[in-house]
Amino acid sequence: MGNTLVKTQLKDVQGFLTSTIGVLENYLNETTLSQMEQEQSGDSNYYKLILSNLRKLLVYCEEGLDACSVILQSEPFQKPTAEKTLYRIFHQCIEEFFSPKNDAWFEDSRSAYTGRNSIKFYKTVPESVKKLVKGFEGEFQRVREELEYYETDYRTKMIQSK
């Protein structure tokens, strides 16, 4: 891929991460465990898991945004570094959203065919959590499709360099 295309994708991802961070920070700064339990009584340990996963996602997004900013400011543009960063963002942010390591929720891949949201929770969660995740899903899916190329391309390059 040419420098211009990679740089454009990096700028797009930077905008996506900036927006995502803003919404996540606002939600996490304003939401407590007791507020979640007041909104919808449920399993407090599961609510803690949800909040923990959202905080982890926020940290990954902040790290990705920092990396994008550094690369976009550097001259000359470092295409290999940018590609590696996009690969890392794909795994740490996008994949963590759709399939968190701590199993806070899961992706129902069949939902893509029905037009419904694909993120499903194992237990009942407050409406604010459903709304937050539903609001993210479309953009995360869009960026996932944009960055899937780096998944295969980066792995191929790593295998060929051995």
How far is the C-alpha of 7 from the C-alpha of 1, rounded, in Å?
10
Which range is least confidently modeled, 22-31, 80-89, 105-114, 135-144?
Answer: 105-114
pLDDT tens-place string over residues 20-34: 999 999 999 999 999
CA-atom Rg of the chain in angstroms = 17
| More reliable by pLDDT, 41 or 162 | 41
pLDDT band at residue 154, thresholds of 50, 70 and 90? low
Residue 162 carries which DSSP code? -
pTM, 2 dp? 0.89
Residue 5 carries which DSSP code? H
pLDDT of the residue at 128: 97
Contact yes or no for 17/93 (Cβ under 8 A): yes
How far is the C-alpha of 130 from the C-alpha of 152, rounded, in Å?
32
42: helix, strand or coil: coil
Contact yes or no for 109/118 (Cβ under 8 A): yes
Question: What is the residue-averaged pLDDT of the chain?
Answer: 90
Measured CA distances, 143 to 35, 102, 159 (Å):
31, 22, 25
